[in-house]
Amino acid sequence: MLMLNSEVIKPYYEKITLIGMMGTGKSKFGRQIANILKFNFYDVDNIIEKEFNMTIKELFQEHGEFYFRRIEKKTINNLILKINKNKEKVIISLGGGGFDNEETRELLLKNTNVIWLNTPLDVLVQRVGDGSKRPMIKGKTRESIMQLLKIRTKYYSLCHNQINTDKLNQNQITEKLIDIISNQSNILIK
């Protein structure tokens, strides 16, 4: 089990956004790191679900992707305004497609340290199963998920930092995130 003392860790970056495909562990690791560092944690999809009293899947089904992306963009913009106003130390977990929007991407890159959890396709397919809870891949073939990953990779690669998770266990991923946030490692910094 990973043991970290938040008194010893001196965060260099105080606003972090985790990006990556669905199933990479953004929410899990974001929540864990926020807890360790005593940062606030925001999951953009959860904020949207609470505000609209609907799941992301239901929002996609009832209103479509275009509508969802508009409210996602607005939610992220409002969140960044709030965080900056309150000078919060935060970890943000962004939905898989949230970084596709140019304005959102620029806002996050300007205001936060963006870390891409880069996970191989085979691992993603295994983790998300049939995609029944993931509207962007529900009923899709492995090839179509690969196409989505290829499109998103060009945006994800604009991040400040990247962690290739394929050969790392959960503790190692957590340690890499802590290294980046505390500016202890320049290995992963682009």
Domain parsing of the chain, residue ranges = 15-181
The CATH number of domain 15-181, selected from 3.10.450.50, 3.10.20.30, 3.40.50.300, 2.60.120.380: 3.40.50.300
Size of the chain, expressed as the number of residues it contains: 190
Question: What local confidence, expressed as pLDDT, does residue 121 receive?
Answer: 86
The Cα–Cα gap between 156 and 153 comes to: 5
Question: What local confidence, expressed as pLDDT, does residue 138 receive?
Answer: 56
Report residues of the chain scoring pLDDT below 70. 1-12, 127-140, 184-190
Q: Are 60 and 132 in contact (CB under 8 A)?
A: no
Q: Answer yes or no: pTM beyond 0.95.
A: no
The Cα–Cα gap between 41 and 62 comes to: 28
Structure confidence by residue, pLDDT tens digits, 52-101:
999 998 998 999 999 999 999 999 999 999 999 999 999 999 999 999 99
**CA triplet 38, 40, 44: central angle to 5 degrees?**
150
Question: What local confidence, expressed as pLDDT, does residue 5 receive?
Answer: 46
